[in-house]
Structure 1
Amino acid sequence: MATKKKAHPKTTSKPAAQSAAGDNGSKPEPKLKRKAYERELARLSLELVKLQHWIKDSGLKVVLVFEGRDAAGKGGTIKRVMEPLNPRGARVVALGTPTEREQTQWYYQRYVAHLPAAGEIVIFDRSWYNRAGVERVMGFCTHEEYREFLRSCPEFERMLVRSGIVLLKYWFSVSDDEQERRFLDRATDPLKRWKLSPMDIQAREHWVEYSRAKDEMFIHTDIEEARWYTVESDDKRRARLNCISHLLSSIPYQDVTPKPITLPPRDQHDDDQRPPRPEHYIVLDQY
């Protein structure tokens, strides 16, 4: 049965001057309880599996762009989207600093190389929008390169959509207080410390500049063919569920999941004689 596409209001971004607490100045909602979160995540995960089967069956090409401030919750949401999916048909692209050769190429060239073929889902964990954010704020591009990006990006994305790609862009919005709390958590937790880079620490001093860059980016690149959708992410659990739910409602799909498989009885091999295993092949039990 076809899944009906739900109507979602167009998200908007308030000017940076109104964003003292967060990108959109919204009041925090009560944090979602773990049991309710896990129950709903399990339900949505099953729907993601159905969506992937439909994408493969119908030959769709899907690109998801995840952007937002450092520690806004992009990575955690991407992890929950990917967990139930078949990795042969879905992958995450998280590109590092451009090489010297890539710096001489057409700006979008290194991203084009990772676009999906028919039946695939590609998630960009940060994307070509680096130029409108970190590159602009930290001075990694010239003013002319930045203005050219704002001019060319809408047409680049229209070209992707005209080619048959389904393009969804998500901005994860986190307040400055919550971002600082997450930074402190990363700084003190050895399991999370790798997430806190020197660039993240530098970016802490440029909150207002990033707000202005984001506002201008939205003005130029929130186009009819590829809208921006804001995910309020001070509550990580709620943000993950909201993003996945929106994704599922944005791509009409049908349940073409393969039917349960009945396995035939296994052949018995009672007379099979195996050589003894050398002890050095065995991992010792420690638990």
Structure 2
Amino acid sequence: MSKIIALANQKGGVGKTTSSINLAASLAVLEYRTLLVDADPQANSTSGIGFDPRNIKNSIYECIINDIEPTEAIQKTETPNLDLLPAHIDLVGAEIEMINLNNREYKMKAVLEKIKDQYDFIIIDCSPSLGLITINALTAADSVIIPVQCEYFALEGLGKLLNTIKIVQNRLNPELEIEGILLTMYDVRLRLSNQVVEEVKTHFQELVFETIIQRNTRLSEAPSYGVSVIMHDANCKGAINYLNLAREIVRKNGMVKEVQDVTTAII
């Protein structure tokens, strides 16, 4: 069984790309075959996992627009069990090019259908917008994770995203579920962080993940090295948080299996 999870929030700076990279890497370290799909024209997941978008020949753009086989675009990463379907700047123009295409909302779904049986998890990093590419991702996904930062205006714009999800459920993908609300950038020292946690949990209740992603220096610096935090420093708080999130998702989806020690898996 393959599970496709999109990470979406049209508000920038909520930890969406960081969470996409590190959730995918954590699932891979737990020995689940994982594909990270970069569906953001900024290509931060691509660069954050060690690839220069300027040197990418084939990407998600070519797969959607030119019908390139995804196997011709997928890259192996340095992390065992983790592959990348990269993005580059050309994805900016994809929405305009898709306007007159038949079944334009299903283009990404058609791409992922070709390779989903090769993976246990497919993680999609969505653009910080609610445009056609994000609609494609939500149409292709089984579920969506919504990152919410523990800062001022944490819930700003969330209503619009939830409304978009509802529209996709009604018109395009009735099987789409909310996997969970992920609290990010939590600082235990700040009263505000704790207030946001309480507010989000009160509002969304069981939809909120037990795992909370804390602010962490090693987590912030990992993308500059082109690696996930678990490959950068497996013992840091950020790596532990994302491993716990991966385990929580695995349990929730009934996909638990015996795995080797995480340290051994990384080596």
Q: Per chain length, whose mean CA-contact separation is higher, i.e. which structure has more relative contact order (CA < 8 Å, sep 6+)?
A: 1
Question: What TM-score does the superposition give when structure 2 sets the normalisation length?
Answer: 0.42
Higher radius of gyration, 1 or 2: 1
